[in-house]
Amino acid sequence: MTTVSIWRWPTPSGLPPLPLVGGALALLGALWLTAPVVEVDFVRLLGALGRMVAFAGQMFVTPDWHYVPQLLAKMLETIEMTVLGTAIAIVVSLPLGLLAAGNATPHPLVYRITRDLLSLMRALPELVWALVFVSAVGLGPLPGVMALAFVTVGFMGKFFAEAIEVVDHKAVEGVRAHGAGWLQVRLFAMLPQALPDFVGTVMYILDHNLRAATILGLVGAGGIGYDLVMSMRLFQYDRLLLIALAIYLVVTLLDRLSDRLRSRIIHGARA
C-alpha cells in the first residue's frame, strides 16, 4: 500500500527546498562545533547561579541620594554627547548615504569607495576610536563626541543608503520625467520617500549612542561611564543602582519619543 501524505510543502516535488534544509543543518552544525570554543557550558552556568543571585541581591540597597546632583550632571553630559555626536553624524551621513545608494550614486566606483569607507568607519567600536581621539585631543567629552560621530557615520550612512535603495521607483520617474535635474530628483523624490526610514534609523542610533556614550568614560572620554565603572570597582552598589536606573529611564523616554515621531511622519500630522 502506498502512503498518501496529506501534508506537503508548496514546491514542485512537495519536499522542503534543499537550500533551506542545507542552511538549517549547516547552522546547527556550526553551533555544535563552536559552543566549546566560546565556552558555552551549561553545567558551569548552573554552578554559577548562586553567585549571580548573590550579586543581584547586593543591588538592593538604599540608594546614595547625596550622589544624585553629580549623577544628573554626568547624565546630562552623556545625553549632550549623544545628541551632538548623532547630529554631526546625520549631517555627514546624508550626502554619503546618497553616494552609497545603488540607485542614487553618480558612478559605480563612487558607490564602491563610499561603501568601503563606511565599513572602515564602523569596523572598530566607539571605545577604540575614543582611545584614538583621547590620545589626539586629550581627555574630556570632545574625543567622546568625535568617536560617537565617527562610528555613527559608518552605520547611518549605510542605513540611509539602504533606505534610499528601496524607495518607490515610480515617483522617482515621475519627478525625473518632468525635467528635474540630478540633485533635484534626489531631493524631491528619493529623500522624502526615505524619510520615515531615516527617522527610524536616527531613533535607533540615538538609543544605541546613548548606551555607547555611557561607556566612553571608561577611557576618559566624558559622560557617566567613568562613575559607572568606578562604582562597580569600588562595590558602591548604592550608586550603581542609581546610575543603571537613570540610563534605563532615559532609554525608555527616548523610545516613547521615537514611537510618537515615527508615527507622525509615516501617517502625517493629525489634523
Query: Which residue from 94, 195, 230, 254 is in contact with other proteins, where contact means CB under 8 A?
Result: 195
Query: Which residue from 178, 232, 252, 259 is in contact with other proteins, where contact means CB under 8 A?
Result: 178
Q: Is 180 in the site for other proteins (CB under 8 A)?
A: yes
CA dihedral (187, 189, 192, 194) positive or negative: negative
- Cβ proximity to other proteins, 189 vs 241, nearer residue: 189
Q: Per-residue x/- marks for other proteins, 143-172, CB under 8 A?
A: -------------------------x-xx-
What span, in angstroms and rounded, lies between the C-alpha atoms of 96 and 105? 9
Q: Is 184 in the site for other proteins (CB under 8 A)?
A: yes
Give, rounded to a whole angstrom, the gap between the first and last alpha carbons of the chain.
Answer: 68
C-alpha distance from residue 180 to each of 168, 172, 194, 221, 260 (Å): 17, 10, 18, 46, 34
CB of 179 to other proteins, least distance (A): 3
Task: Single out the residue of 207, 219, 167, 202 nearest to residue 91, CA to CA.
Answer: 202
Amino acid identity of residue 133, one-letter, is F
Q: Is 176 in the site for other proteins (CB under 8 A)?
A: yes
Q: Measured at the alpha carbon of residue 37, what is the angle toward residues 219 and 42, in degrees to the nearest 5?
A: 95
Q: Is 199 in the site for other proteins (CB under 8 A)?
A: no
- Cβ proximity to other proteins, 104 vs 219, nearer residue: 104
Q: Which residues bind other proteins (CB under 8 A)?
A: 168, 170-171, 173-184, 187-189, 192-193, 195-196, 268
